[in-house]
Chain A
Amino acid sequence: MTATTPAHRRRAWRATRRAVLLNGALIAATILTLGPFLWIALASFKTQIVLLMGRVTFTPVTMNYDEVLFGRTSTFASNFVNSVIVASVSTVLVMIVGFLAGYSLIRMRWPKFVINLFLLWALLFNLVPPVTLAGAWYELFRTIHLGNDHVALILAHTTLHLPMALWLLSSFLRDVPRELEEAALIDGAGFTKLLRRVVVPVMMPGIVATAVLVFIFSWNEFPVALALTNNTSATVPVGIAKYAQENEIKYTQMAAASVLSAIPALLALIFGQRFIVKGLTAGAVK
């Protein structure tokens, strides 16, 4: 106890009040965010009737996980592998293609109409309802003999999410101070070196945020995945949709499947957190 003057005390009190308010708000937001999520997780350990009766206490069961993973007509394991392949490959593709295009558009003296046309096209394409795309893509990929293949879905997802990445990355790129790049160029850095040493590190938060979103969008995409896959190439959302049946919605199995499907993303977030947080804070250097 060294702070004894009124001014000190007032300042200390203000700091405490601020901390309490801040943490209080964050905790409230956490509860609201986590509540439904926990409810889903709990549902995955209930029997259907316990869930429907809304019982507060119950004996946890693992039958939902059993059925999702080992049921007679279950395809969850292969759905999962397919989703990992499709989501990660298409994310990498989107990020590379989107970053290069974004950089090219923002920094490489394209006439204004090219830039606007490109961005507007990307935007327009994002407005197409997927249901109207799925049929056309099905025909296209069947014609070039890529039907029901991972390649078809990877290409489709890349196309689907490229516009978003292009937009987001362009907007983050605009915020990168030109002086940094000019300085690097004066120092004699080549194009790749410029990207690697200057541009990418500076806009790391934006790149990470975009990649996380693209991955999640691909992981959860349903209508196009449904049209372009069959039982052997189906992704997790297509598998999960099977639990919403005509005469029975299997809530508890759905819950179990969604917990299982959220695990990799969750693990990626937890283990990758250091990287994500670092990525998100890296830009603060400028």
Chain B
Amino acid sequence: MIYEMHRIRAALAATVAACALGAAAPALAADQPPITVVINQSPWLDGFAGIVERYVDETGNEVTLDVNPYAGSLEKQRNAVRSAESEYDLLIINGIFYPEMYHGGFLEPLTNIDPDFKLDPQIYTYDDTLWFDPETKTVNSETGDLLTVPVNPNITMMFYRQDLYEENGLKIPETWDELLANAKVLHNPPEMIGMLQRASRSTISITWDYWPYLISHGGSLFRDEAGGDFFVTINSPEALDALKTYLTFAKEVGPDNPASMEQGDLIQYMVTGRTAHAILPVAAQAQMDDPNKSIVPGKVGYMQIPHKEGYPSAPALGHWLGGIPKNIPAERKKAALAFLDWFQQPENQIAYAEMGGSPVSAAAYESDFADRPENRYMPVMREASPTARRLWTIPEGSEIVSVLEIGLNRTVAGEIEPVDALNQMAADIEKIVADAGYKTGRLPDLAAD
């Protein structure tokens, strides 16, 4: 079906032809077979397409992008790795669903493809989510195999109204209490909401929003996931403390209908100038300064997510990982790895940033490019990337999240008390993990207030 070739592919093929004809054809020209990358449509896709084009220019290797709707990418990848031979050579895997790929044994360890392959030291490792140990079935950088290279660092950060901070002489908060105080100063509903939370229920919504609260109050989902201990600790006093903090924001500086706020609403309130704070993934920053999408261009600033006194800030990971399926011929695996290796190099990461992509290497965040005012989110990312925390590392996470989404959402909606919600969620989660055969248990029920 040549007449329908995808535009990118056609464009890339044209470039390849130009390279082959050109006098300065690169030494490596087309020494790798063509590869197909499965990826989802996103605000950072154009940047990724740009860097792929650059790879094609430089090496002469052919790359096709199969671009899918966000929800469709997982389905495509699942179908591909479960078939006799995957039609894709490189999977761009969501940071929520990677455990399924790891545990299912669908990905080829990168050092099996090339024993000399090494992760560039400047690449962020995002809470060690790049390694998996098939023996202990844990995500563990010490004992595990390297399965993926990150391709996008979509962690959360605090978006805030820098102009209002300056007007009111507010100072960047470190702790949740300081943030609450600032939000109260700016809270003037309905024109201006002090702080918006993503408290709606979805496939994964309020869980992702609650996570930084949970971790930065010293709480956790399990006692020691990396060590294979799945004792449920979601009903700890720390988790209750975190949930109460979360509810305080919803009640005191939130909107009338906090339980139905989803990410799109948060962005909408932010770009229409109606909220002072919102925790959003970094990918949303591109909309803030675009006058076609925002009435507050240049007025939104970024800061680290607050924490409780004595604990570190803990942004939630929603990153994307590049992995190579097992069920493709060896030479295609090599070709996919060649791209990943090229992609992770510091100079290419800087170029990726300049093309509007979201780099995953410290090199890019430390470059001059990161110091430009329009890239003011990048210095914050530099601080936040090493402290960002994963959610769970077992495939049962997709069942666990459904329990968390309903329990947390109902708490915000006022349908259930925080203590009861946490106790119930702990019991449900323990059952899920026990049924799946993990070593588990749970803390005794929290006492009612």
- State yes or no: do A and B touch (Cβ within 8 Å): yes
Using a CB–CB cutoff of 8 Å, the interface residues on chain A facing chain B are 47-49, 52-53, 63, 72-75, 78, 81-82, 134-135, 138-139, 142, 147-148, 226-227, 230-233, 238, 241-249
Chain B residues in 8 Å Cβ range of A73: 7-8, 41, 45-46, 49, 65, 67
Q: Knowing that A226-B76, A231-B65, A241-B72 are A-B contacts, what are 10 other residue pairs whose CB atoms are under 8 Å apart, sorted by A's residue number? A: A49-B271, A49-B291, A49-B293, A73-B49, A73-B65, A226-B68, A232-B6, A244-B70, A245-B43, A246-B42
A42 to B316, CA, bound (A): 38
A241, B78: Cα distance in complex, Å: 19
Q: Of A135, A245, A248, which one neighbours B79 at CB under 8 angstroms?
A: A135
Set of chain B residues within 8 Å of A75, measured between Cβ atoms: 6-7, 67
The closest CB in chain B to the CB of A149 belongs to B1
Q: Is the CB of A49 within 8 A of B5?
A: no
The stretch of B116-124, B226-234, B280-288 that contacts the partner chain: B280-288
Compute the total of residue contacts between A and B using a CB distance below 8 Å.
115
Surface stretch bound by A, among B182-190, B262-270, B427-435: B262-270
Q: How far is the CA of A233 from the CA of B6 in the complex (A)?
A: 9
Q: Which residue of B lies closest to A226 (CB)?
A: B72
CA distance A243 to B70 in the complex (A): 9
Q: Does B40 lie within 8 Å of A53, measured CB to CB?
A: no
A205 to B49, CA, bound (A): 50
| A contact residues around B280 at 8 Å (CB) | 247
Inter-subunit contact A53/B66 (CB<8 Å): no
Cα distance, A232 to B281, chains bound together (Å)? 31
- A72 near B79 with CB under 8 A, answer no
Query: Which of A63, A139, A243, A246 sits near B83, CB closer than 8 Å?
Result: A139
Neighbouring A residues of B263 by C-beta, 8 Å:
247
* Residue pair B83, A142 in contact (C-beta under 8 Å): yes
CB distance from A221 to the nearest CB of B (A): 14
Q: How far is the CA of A210 from the CA of B351 in the complex (A)?
A: 55
* Closest B residue, CB atoms, query A48: B293
- A residues within 8 A CB of B75? 134-135, 226-227
> A residues within 8 A CB of B281?
246-247
The 9 closest A-B pairs by CB, nearest first: A241-B69, A242-B41, A47-B292, A247-B283, A48-B293, A231-B6, A232-B4, A226-B72, A246-B70
Complex CA distance for A227 and B75, rounded to whole angstroms? 7
When C-beta atoms are compared, the residue in chain B nearest to A243 turns out to be B41
Q: Which of A48, A134, A148, A247 contacts B42 (CB 8 A)?
A: A247
Q: Measured between alpha carbons, how far is A96 from B5 in the docked complex, in Å? A: 32
Q: Is the CB of A226 within 8 A of B69?
A: yes
Name the one of B6, B69, B154, B272 contacting A238, with C-beta atoms under 8 angstroms.
B69
What is the CA–CA distance of A63 and B291 in the complex, to the nearest angstrom? 13
The answer to whether A74 and B83 touch (CB under 8 A), given A53-B272, A245-B42, A248-B284, is no
Decide yes or no whether B32 CB sits under 8 A from chain A: no
Which residues between 67 and 109 of chain B lie within 8 Å of chain A, taking CB atoms? 67-72, 75-76, 78-79, 83-84, 87
B175 within 8 A of A: no
Chain B residues closer than 8 Å to A142, beta-carbon distance: 83-84
Q: Report how far A53 CA is from B41 CA in the complex, Å.
A: 25
A49-B295 contact given A75-B7, A78-B6, A232-B5, CB 8 Å threshold:
yes
Instruction: Tell me if B271 and A52 are in contact (CB < 8 A).
Output: yes
- Minimum CB–CB distance from B168 to chain A (whole Å) comes to 24
What are 28 A-B interface contacts by the 8 Å CB criterion? A48-B287, A49-B271, A52-B271, A52-B272, A63-B292, A72-B7, A72-B49, A73-B41, A73-B46, A74-B7, A78-B4, A82-B4, A134-B75, A139-B83, A147-B87, A226-B76, A230-B66, A231-B9, A232-B1, A232-B4, A233-B1, A233-B4, A238-B69, A242-B68, A244-B71, A245-B42, A246-B154, A247-B281
Q: What residues of chain B lie closer than 8 Å to A242, measured between beta carbons?
A: 41, 67-70
B294 interfacial by beta-carbon distance below 8 Å: yes
Kindly identify, within residues 429 to 443 of chain B, every residue whose CB is under 8 Å from any CB belonging to chain A: none
Minimal Cβ-Cβ distance residue in B for A231: B6
Known: A52-B268, A135-B79, A231-B66. A47 touches B293 (CB 8 A): yes
Residues from chain B with Cβ under 8 Å of A134 in the complex: 75
Contact B283 A49, beta carbon cutoff 8 Å: no
CA distance A194 to B404 in the complex (A): 64
Contacts of A238 in B (CB 8 A): 68-69, 72
Q: Shortest Cβ distance from B53 into chain A, in angstroms?
A: 10
Q: Which residue of B lies closest to A135 (CB)?
A: B79
Least Cβ–Cβ distance between A251 and chain B, in angstroms: 9
Which of A47, A72, A148, A244 contacts B69 (CB under 8 A)?
A244
